[in-house]
Every structure is written in structure tokens, then in C-alpha cells.
């Protein structure tokens, strides 16, 4: 059986360095934003435990906490994507589809630098989810 000749395409370091820098800056901003959200969380206010607030104030606190928790989860997802992408850069796998091994279109990477799948595989995934 003949072996398939798979070309391994890697981006030059001079192209990857700005992407890596952009992702590291974004990671720093997201970490800072996450810390700020934690400070805004009404549940982190220690004086609230001693406060016998009215039910409407308690509902507002709970709503605020849920909103902040949801935002922090979204930030966590983004941070995981960034860290995964930085690892793929370091391993020399950036820009190749995790599913089929083909190059991810550079226009797609320009829009979403953390993309791990080509458009074809992404469409297949979305179709399966429906």
C-alpha cells in the first residue's frame, strides 16, 4: 500500500511572532478583565453576609452574581482557546486543521487567530450539531 505523501506546512517564525504577541496581549487583557469582574461580584462583598437586605436587594445581588459568573466563564473559554493556540504555535502545528490536517485558510486565521479547524471541517461539525 503506497504511503500518502503528507506535506507538513509551517508558518515562518516572522509571521508567527506577531500572532503570538497579539495573543499574549489579549490573554493579559482578559486576565485583567476577569480580576475586575471578580471585584464587582456582589457575593465577594464580606459585609453582605451581615446585611439583612430586603428581598429585592438580594435578588439584585443574585442577578449581578449570575451575570458576572457568566462573563467570567466566557473569559475562561477565551483564555483556554488562546493557551491552546499558543501551544499549537510552539509545537509547530498552528494553522493546520486538527481534524483533517489541511491548512486553515489565512483569511480565517486573520479573523479568528485561535481557529483550530478549516472551514470544511467546521461546517461538518456544525451540521452534526443540528
Whole-prediction pTM value? 0.76
Q: What is the pLDDT along the chain (130 residues), one digit of tens a residue?
A: 444 445 566 788 888 999 999 999 999 999 999 999 888 877 665 555 555 555 555 666 677 778 888 999 999 999 999 999 999 999 999 999 999 999 999 999 999 999 999 999 999 988 888 7
Grid cell for residue 96: 493546520
Provide the β-strand partners of residue 96: 103
Separation CA 105–CA 96 (nearest Å): 9
Asked if 103 and 95 count as a contact pair (C-beta separation under 8 A), the reply is yes
pLDDT given at position 5 = 44
Instruction: Report d(CA 117, CA 115) in Å as an integer.
Output: 6
Q: What is the rounded CA–CA span in Å between residue 106 and residue 101? A: 15
Report which of 86, 83, 85, 110 is spatially closest to residue 98, judged by C-alpha positions. Answer: 85
Cα–Cα distance for residue pair 39/15, rounded to 1 Å: 38
The residue with cell 471578580 is 38
- The DSSP bridge partners found for residue 103 are 96
Model pLDDT, residue 123: 92
Provide the pLDDT for residue 44.
67
In this prediction, residue 104 carries a pLDDT of 94
Amino acid at each position: 500500500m503506497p504511503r500518502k505523501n503528507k506535506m507538513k506546512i509551517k508558518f515562518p517564525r516572522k509571521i508567527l511572532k506577531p500572532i503570538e504577541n497579539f495573543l499574549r496581549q489579549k490573554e493579559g487583557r482578559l486576565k485583567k478583565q476577569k480580576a475586575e469582574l471578580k471585584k464587582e461580584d456582589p457575593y465577594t462583598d464580606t459585609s453582605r453576609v451581615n446585611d439583612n437586605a430586603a428581598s429585592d436587594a438580594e435578588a439584585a445581588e443574585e442577578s449581578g452574581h449570575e451575570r458576572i459568573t457568566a462573563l467570567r466563564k466566557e473569559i475562561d473559554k477565551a483564555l483556554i482557546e488562546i493557551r491552546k493556540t499558543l501551544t499549537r504555535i510552539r509545537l509547530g502545528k498552528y494553522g493546520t486543521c486538527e481534524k483533517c490536517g489541511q491548512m486553515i485558510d489565512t483569511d480565517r486565521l486573520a479573523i479568528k487567530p485561535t481557529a483550530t479547524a478549516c472551514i470544511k471541517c467546521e461546517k461538518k461539525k456544525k451540521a452534526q450539531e443540528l
